[in-house]
Amino acid sequence: MSSSFFLDGKAIPFKEGQTVLQAAMSAGHYIPHLCWRPELEPHSSCRLCTVIISGKPFSSCTQPAMEGQNVECDTPELKAMRRAVTQLLFVEGNHYCPSCEESGGCKLQATAYYLGMQDNHFPHQFPVRVRDSSHPLVNLDRDRCIRCETCVRASRELDGKNVFAIHGRGIRSKLAVNSPTGLLKDSGISPEDMAVKLCPTGALTVKRVGFEFPIGQRIFDQESIATLELREYANQEAVHG
């Protein structure tokens, strides 16, 4: 007999060791997230995947699936919380979507659309952030960084390079480069690194390939982030089991 829990009243089967988020995705139920990637250890930094279990909030990317538990995900309160978190990510950075080469391919932007975000609500903070274009092939635009630490973890866990780190705490934290000069050109970064490929925004981009696809033909112009993420996760499960 397979184990299962209830997600908004629907029975969700799960395998031993799966988290609530993994089990939901396997069953075709999308839970919004930004910092979670199936290739990486869960981090629980963006909090978008928060669900309610027994009246308490938990990050579904780290919460183990348990037999018979009742999980709330699609509630007005959680939807409002996710929109507010996404709005804060926009105003705490400098996200100029119309001029960004990742517009239409940015997971932050696509998540905002999915959550029904109509405006930023909070006043913009316009932080001063330093761009690093020193590398001949890779660009680091900290204005677009949401400090999800995807690149930090990918560089360490997948690339074996440890190129990035988060320096500072809270709103004053920033993405730092682990090199003698602190510049990308003196690091071991490569355009083929997973740290570059998995960045959910336009913070890390490969030079000389920007605006490859015109507006209207970019990935999230064609389908929602929920559809794409569920398909990609299903494909990964089919390959890796």
* Phi, psi for 182 (deg, rounded to 5): 80, 5
Q: Are 60 and 153 within one domain?
A: no
User: How far apart are the C-alpha atoms of 189 and 52, rounded to whole Å?
Assistant: 39
Kindly report, residue by residue over 210-231, the tens digit of the pLDDT.
788 888 889 999 999 999 999 9
Closest CA to 131 of 119, 148, 118, 143: 143
DSSP-derived secondary structure for 181-203: SS-GGGS---TT-HHHHT-SSSS
pLDDT of residue 241: 62
Q: Are 107 and 177 within one domain?
A: no
To the question of pTM greater than 0.85 for the whole model, the response is: yes
| Sequence letter at residue 46 | C
As a whole number, mean pLDDT of residues 99-121 equals 93
| Total Cβ atoms within 10 A of residue 97 | 15
pLDDT of residue 152: 97
Q: Are 229 and 134 within one domain?
A: no
The residue segments making up the domain with residue 190 are 128-210
* Phi, psi for 25 (deg, rounded to 5): -65, -40
Closest CA to 217 of 96, 105, 97: 105
User: How far apart are the C-alpha atoms of 21 and 66, rounded to whole Å?
Assistant: 12
Q: Are 34 and 86 within one domain?
A: yes
Burial class (CB in 10 A: 0-12, 13-18, 19+), 153: buried
As a whole number, mean pLDDT of residues 117-134 equals 92
- Looking only at the bridges linking them, the beta strands covering 3-7 and 70-72 are parallel
Q: Are 147 and 94 within one domain?
A: no
Q: Are 222 and 111 within one domain?
A: yes
Q: What is the CATH number of the domain that holds 179?
A: 3.30.70.20
Q: Are 61 and 122 within one domain?
A: yes
Burial class (CB in 10 A: 0-12, 13-18, 19+), 195: buried
User: How far apart are the C-alpha atoms of 39 and 6, rounded to whole Å?
Assistant: 26
Q: Are 51 and 91 within one domain?
A: yes
As a whole number, mean pLDDT of residues 189-218 equals 92
Residue whose entry in the numeric block shows the structure tokens 């890779």: 138
- pLDDT band of residue 186 (cuts 50, 70, 90) is very high
Residue whose entry in the numeric block shows the structure tokens 């299962």: 4
Q: What is the CATH number of the domain that holds 69?
A: 3.10.20.740
How many domains does the chain fold into? 2
Q: Are 102 and 5 within one domain?
A: yes
Kindly report, residue by residue over 79-107, the tens digit of the pLDDT.
999 999 999 999 999 998 988 989 999 99
Q: Are 114 and 216 within one domain?
A: yes
Q: Within 13 Å of residue 11, how many CA atoms lie on the same side as its CB? A: 6
Q: In what order do the strands lie in the sheet with 3-7?
A: 10-14, 3-7, 70-72, 50-53, 56-59
Q: With 60 as the cut, is the pLDDT of residue 77 above it? A: yes
pLDDT of residue 171: 75
Q: What is the mean pLDDT of the chain?
A: 94
Kindly report, residue by residue over 19-61, the tens digit of the pLDDT.
999 999 999 999 999 999 999 999 888 999 999 999 999 999 9
